[in-house]
Structure 1
Amino acid sequence: MPDQRRADARRNHARILAVAEREVAAHGSEASLEQIARTAGVGSATVRRHFPTRHALLTAVSHERVEALRRRALDLTTHTDPRQALLDWLDEVVAYCVTARGLATALSYDEALVPENSCSATLEEAAGPLLDRAAADGAVADGVTVRDLITLAVGIALAVEHHPDPPATAQRLFGLAVTGLSPVRR
């Protein structure tokens, strides 16, 4: 469907989004909407007209990364080991959330603020077959949902945001979540 907005509105949207991507990369989910407006050369009302909430802005900024994760989930559905396919995808979700500032917040579930989270819905739909295959193979506990897994990834990313080495810490915590607290006793 073609974009029905006026040319100046399309240009403003593109400029705001480009500036927002840089600001979110630099400052994370707390990037200043006012600074984004100033840098984009528009008023704050224009930013809010295009992106009525901070979450809407973060969703737009995260769109390409979410699409990459969606495509990766689809690619992994043919992996021969369903458990490993799911873990590989989750590992990439955690890594993206840690390195792509703002993505963890865009994926966060807050039903009061964002009743429909399009980023998470996209990933839930894409990862559903991965989880189904892993569950059918007995590799996942009963009752685990993709939403649970996304919440786990987001929680890890947000928890390590201010650590000296967020990617390494996130990787270690994700490994701990996968293997559990206790070693397997034989």
Structure 2
Amino acid sequence: MDSMRTDARRNYTQLLAAARAVFTEQGTDASLREVARQAGVGIGTLYRHFPTREALLEALLGEGFEALRAQAVELLDAPDPGEALAAWLRGFGVASTRYEGLPASVMEALQDPASRLHASCEGLRTAATELLARAQRSGRVRRDLTASELLATANAMAWAARQSTGAAELSDRYLSLLMEGLLTRPGAPTQDGRGGM
């Protein structure tokens, strides 16, 4: 019985390692048979652990999503709410460019409550909402922006960066430009007509 559990744990670990390698090289639409082959197991073993591609993605991404959520909680105490939001978005951008096709998977999961990835992605939306609201209350970020719009825009920029070499560097550049557009300037009118900061 213990040996069976040990084998199952080993297969699970090998499948995740293989999925990470295959998705990095070929994107999130890569063949699951190729994932199983690289893990050294049959396709049936893969489906016993991960009944769907989405279940595999959820297992693969869950740890990273949780790290982003935890980072957001820590940044809620940062002295500059605008910089805190920018720092979190950079981490989100890097995570979103890890695999080809990932930005689309994240957006689909955010919009589909029945999706297995939805709960993990919803944690990201909650984290983004809290950071954004704090930055907006401080007057550092325009008030007419929602967390969903922010994530959609950041995701789109991550997708655009992923189409070129140097995706991580481009993603950081695009997100910096995004933040420059979102930040209010001292004395400048905000969307509700009041002066910023």
- TM class, shorter-length: 0.7 to 0.9
Please identify, of 29-38 and 54-63, the stretch whose mean Cα deviation from structure 2 is larger: 54-63
Q: Which portions of structure 1, spanning 4 or more consecutive aligned residues, are displaced by more than 6 angstroms?
A: none
Structure 1: distance between partners of 2:83 and 2:49? 40
| Secondary structure of 1:126 counterpart | helix
CA RMSD, Structure 1 to Structure 2 (Å): 2.7
Give 1:79 shift: 0.7
Deviation at 1:46, TM superposition (A): 2.6
CA-CA distance at 1:27 after TM superposition: 2.1
The residue correspondences of 1:100-119 to structure 2 (distance < 5 A) are 100-101=98-99, 103-110=102-109, 111=111, 114=115, 117-119=118-120
Q: Give the conservation status (yes or no) of the 8 Å contact 2:82–2:140.
A: yes
**TM-score for both structures, normalised by structure 1:** 0.79
Q: Which amino acid aligns with 1:10?
A: R
Inter-partner Cα distance in structure 2 for 1:164 and 1:176 = 19
Distance 2:74 2:53 in 1: 31
- Maintained 8 Å contact 2:89/2:154: yes
2-side partners of 1:14 and 1:78: how far apart? Answer: 36
Alignment of 1:18-97 (within 5 A): 18-97=17-96
> Structure 1 residues 48, 109: closer, same or farther in 2, change over 3 A?
same
Q: Is the 8 A contact 1:63 1:119 kept in 2?
A: yes
Q: How far off is 1:78 after superposition?
A: 0.7
Within 1, Cα distance between the matches of 2:34 and 2:80?
47
In structure 1, stretches of 5+ residues that fail to align are: none
> Whose Rg is larger?
2
- Deviation of 1:88 after TM superposition, in Å, equals 1.2
The answer for the alignment partner of 1:159 in structure 2 is 160
In 1, the alpha carbon distance for the partners of 2:34 and 2:141 equals 45
For 2:144 and 2:11, locate their aligned partners in 1 and report how far apart those are by CA, in whole Å: 45
Fraction of identical pairs, as percent: 35
Aligned-residue offset at 1:58: 1.8
- Say whether the 8 Å CA contact 2:33–2:43 is kept in structure 1: yes
Per-residue CA deviation, residues 135-181 of structure 1 (Å, 9 max, x unaligned), is: 21123333433232222222111122121222232223223322339
Counterpart contact for 1:25–1:101, Cα < 8 Å = yes
Indicate the residue corresponding to 1:147 in structure 2. 148
Aligned twin of 2:170: 169
Whole-Å separation in 2 of the counterparts to 1:21 and 1:151: 24
Deviates more, 1:74-83 or 1:26-35: 26-35
Q: More displaced, 139-148 or 79-88?
A: 139-148
The residue matched to 2:108 in structure 1 has which SS? coil
Q: Which runs of 5+ in 2 are unaligned?
A: 189-197
CA shift at 1:62, angstroms?
Answer: 1.7
- Structure 1 residue 82: deviation in Å? 1.0
How many residues align structurally? 178
- Tell me the alpha carbon deviations over residues 21-51 of structure 1, each in whole angstroms, 9 at most, x when there is no partner: 2222222212321101112232223322322
